[in-house]
Amino acid sequence: MGQPEFLAPPRRLDAPLGLDPASWSPRDVYHLHTALITPRPIAWVSTRSAEGLDNLAPHSYFNAVSDDPPMLMFSIEGKTDTWRNLQEVPEFVVSFVTSALAEAMEISAVRMPPEEDEFAWAGLGKRAAERVRPARVAGAAAALECTLDSVTPVGRRNHMVLGRVVRYHVSEAVWREGRVDPSRYRPIGRLAGHYCEQGRRFRMRRPEFAALREHGAAGAARLTERTPLPDPDSTE
């Protein structure tokens, strides 16, 4: 059988796009999918093989899924070194990528032979974890030590990893008044085929339902009261 015939994405739209994903090539669907679901946080995942070899790789299909207990997920494309290591040592660490570590993260994304150490190639130090065997990235503003809960095949080539956080690490540089300060933390994210840093921030007030009922749907938006937050880099 020959290769299936796929439609090419239109160069421009004269009307809203309605699309059955099966009509485009997987690569074109990838570009659409990742351009719409943005920005995505980056899980910088470190794992260790049974022989003690370290691996470090970024994954942008990543997010929190629960906080009691704290759990997260990320997705692996194919049976990579990360996937193989998790079969042997069911533990991992997620370090977070801030701007100063962006170039090192990109180097660690290079496909390398299993015996190569991405930490070394990226010029990164290792810091021992406290509850799991894989190392965490020295210098990362935050890291989560995790035990593996499950690995579930998803679609044609991905595997969804579900993990439980057993230890948090947060730098004092990003902590203020009892919480992580987003203006100091500022992890980078994946934005389609590019990266982004935290931009303008704002706060919104969430009204009670009694207030919504009083003002009606037409006046509901006024109750949220969007308030811009100051630029953390501003000298004013």
pLDDT over threshold 80, residue 131? yes
CATH code for the domain of 179: 2.30.110.10
- The pLDDT-based confidence of 112 (bands split at 50, 70, 90) is very high
Nearest CA among 38, 4, 40 for reference residue 22: 4
Does residue 232 surpass a pLDDT of 80?
A: no
Q: Are residues 144 and 215 in the same domain?
A: no
Average pLDDT along the chain: 92
Residue 56 lies in a domain: yes
Residues 233 and 159 in one domain: no
The pTM (predicted TM-score) of the whole model is 0.87
In 3D, which of 229, 82, 230 has the Cα closest to residue 158?
82
Does the pLDDT value for residue 236 go beyond 50?
A: no
12 occurs within a structural domain:
no
Say if residue 207 is in the same domain as residue 179: no
Can you give the pLDDT at residue 118?
Answer: 96
Measured CA to CA, the distance from residue 54 to residue 126 in angstroms comes to: 10
What are 42-77's pLDDT values in tens digits? 999 999 999 999 999 999 999 999 999 999 999 999
